[in-house]
Structure formats: C-alpha cells, structure tokens
C-alpha cells in the first residue's frame, strides 16, 4: 500500500502526508498537512533585487554557487522547525534569510537559499508518522534541478531494493 507525501514548493513549501490505510480523509491519522518553510520566495526576492530577474530559471545561478553552511545552520536554528504541526507560514516570516546571505556573491547566496528550502523540507519529514513510498513534488520549485537534486540527496528518494521511492509530478 502506497503512503504518499505531496510536496508543494511555491513561495512557501508545504507538505501533505496521506495514509491510504485510513478509509476516510476526516478520520484521525488519515492526513497531515503543514508548511515546511520558505521555498521559492526568498530565492526569487534575491535574484530580483540583485539580478533584475524574477526567478532563478532552471537553478542556473544556484548551480554555480557553494552553500554557506554557517548561514544554513543559523536558518535551521529557527524555532519554527521544532514546533509540532499543524503550523503555517506567511511568505515574509523568514525575511531575515536574505540577511544571512547578504555578504555572499549572487551564486553562493542563491545556492544557500536553495539549500535552506531543501533543509526545511528535511526537517518537516521528521513530523510525518511514517516514511513515504513516494514523494510527489509540485510547484515552481519542481522545475529547479538544483533544488530537486538537493532534495533527492537529503531524502534519499531513489529506487531502493524492495521499495519504490521516487520523485514525481
């Protein structure tokens, strides 16, 4: 039986965990949905302010950069990540992210913000009741190969022996 997680990577990331063993969606334990953290909004804000473009198309800017681990660690220290769901965010709740990368060049800043999005998803997975058999990714972040690679490495969503684990739309 497939347990799926649906991950939407828009301006803010959000996840929905579905357990098909529960007959009705309104039954306790059938669904869990909450925001994972910022997704494309900070990356879009950065590249608009610095490069005059609305988003990092294909992750081309982030692909040239290196993640600043100190900034990533500060980001993950935010209390939001340890709070139990249900929880939600506004697009501007993590406005200080841009400050964490302000001293970095464009590529390193974009790479670090992209890693922050992936790390937020990773933290969110810890709140789900069981591991998924698949993760279906939607939203604009789905079209960013740098972000998708970071998620694949972080979540190990590759096909493994005896189980289906894959990314999809």
Per the structure block, which two tokens stand in for 146? Answer: 């740098």
Read off φ and ψ for residue 46, nearest 5 degrees: -65, -50
Count the Cβ atoms, other than its own, within 10 Å of residue 99: 10
- Domains of the chain in start order, with CATH, are 4-168 (3.30.420.40)
Burial letters 105-117, b for 16+ CB under 10 A, else e: ebbbbbbbbbbbb
Distance of alpha carbon 166 from alpha carbon 153, whole angstroms: 12
What pLDDT score was predicted for residue 160?
44
- Grade residue 63 by pLDDT with cuts at 50, 70 and 90: very high
pTM across the whole model = 0.88
Kindly state the average pLDDT of the residues 70-80. Answer: 96
**Tens-place pLDDT, residues 7-52:** 999 999 999 988 777 777 777 777 889 999 999 999 999 999 999 9
What pLDDT score was predicted for residue 3?
67
């Amino acid at each position: 039986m497939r347990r799926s997680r649906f991950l939407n990577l828009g301006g803010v990331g959000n996840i929905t965990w579905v357990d098909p063993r529960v007959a009705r969606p309104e039954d306790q334990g059938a669904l869990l949905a909450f925001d994972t953290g910022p997704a494309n909004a900070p990356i879009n804000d950065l590249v608009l302010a610095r490069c005059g473009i609305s988003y990092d198309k294909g992750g081309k800017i982030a692909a040239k950069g290196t993640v600043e681990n100190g900034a990533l660690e500060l980001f993950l220290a935010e209390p939001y990540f340890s709070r139990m769901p249900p929880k939600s965010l506004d697009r501007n709740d993590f406005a200080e992210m841009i400050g964490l990368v302000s001293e970095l060049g464009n590529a390193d800043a974009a790479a670090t913000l992209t890693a922050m999005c992936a790390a937020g998803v990773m933290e969110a997975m810890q709140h789900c009741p069981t591991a998924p058999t698949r993760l279906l990714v939607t939203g604009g972040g789905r079209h960013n190969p740098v972000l998708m690679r970071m998620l694949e490495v972080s979540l190990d969503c590759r096909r493994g022996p005896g189980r289906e684990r894959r990314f999809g739309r």
